[in-house]
């Protein structure tokens, strides 16, 4: 895949994730609080549940795209997109609320957008980096671990600030 095509590919992925993640914020409520929908989309207003806004859309995009994109670094790029996007949400949210003293909806939305765009930008560089097979193997393990954590902690959230509703 050329660098220009991979840039377009990741721009499309970011756009897909931003749209589905934004609309997905409401899926659980719209579904009548369907437990299956709650596995993939936020069930409350906790920071952990908001990290799911990147999880399912990114996994869906990367999963379907894996059928069409042939790259030795695809698993690594998928992991990077997902991990960076999800990790930046609490990092940015708790940083700005510590300074501001409270949260603001427009800034919360900006945090989501910046997190997704940054995740896909890092994924672009991962896809176009030198191939290191062990990194792709670690990425697959990382993807599985992320999915297991999200499914487990949705069903049984630990008693931690990350899992509490504001």
Q: Give pLDDT tens digits for 113-162.
A: 999 999 999 999 998 888 888 899 999 999 999 999 988 998 889 999 99
What pLDDT does residue 70 have? 79
The pLDDT confidence band at residue 93, using thresholds 50, 70 and 90, is very high
Q: Which two tokens stand for residue 156?
A: 């049984």
Q: Is residue 158 left, alpha or beta, with left meaning phi > 0 and alpha meaning psi from -120 to 50?
A: beta
pLDDT higher than threshold 70 for residue 1: no
69 compared with 23, residue with greater pLDDT: 23
CB atoms within 10 A of CB 77: 28
What is the rounded distance in angstroms from the CA atom of residue 135 to the CA atom of residue 101?
Answer: 39
DSSP, res 46: S
Which of 150, 116, 144, 119 has its CA nearest to residue 48?
Answer: 150
pLDDT higher than threshold 80 for residue 112: yes
- Let me know: does 47 contact 89? Beta carbons within 8 Å: yes
Average pLDDT, integer, range 96-109:
94
């Amino acid at each position: 895949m050329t660098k220009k095509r991979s840039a377009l590919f990741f721009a499309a992925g970011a756009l897909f994730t931003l749209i589905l993640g934004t609309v997905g914020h409401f899926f659980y409520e719209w579904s009548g609080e369907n437990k299956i929908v709650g596995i993939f989309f936020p069930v409350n207003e906790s920071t952990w549940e908001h990290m799911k806004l990147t999880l399912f859309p990114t996994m869906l995009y990367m999963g379907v795209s894996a059928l069409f994109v042939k790259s030795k670094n695809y698993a690594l790029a998928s992991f990077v997109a997902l991990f960076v996007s999800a990790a930046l949400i609490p990092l940015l949210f708790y940083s700005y609320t510590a300074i501001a003293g409270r949260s603001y909806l427009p800034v919360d939305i900006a945090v989501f957008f910046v997190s997704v765009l940054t995740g896909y930008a890092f994924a672009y560089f991962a896809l176009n980096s030198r191939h290191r097979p062990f990194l792709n193997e670690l990425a697959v393990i990382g993807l599985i671990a992320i999915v297991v954590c999200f499914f487990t902690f949705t069903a049984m959230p630990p008693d931690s600030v990350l899992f509490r509703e504001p």
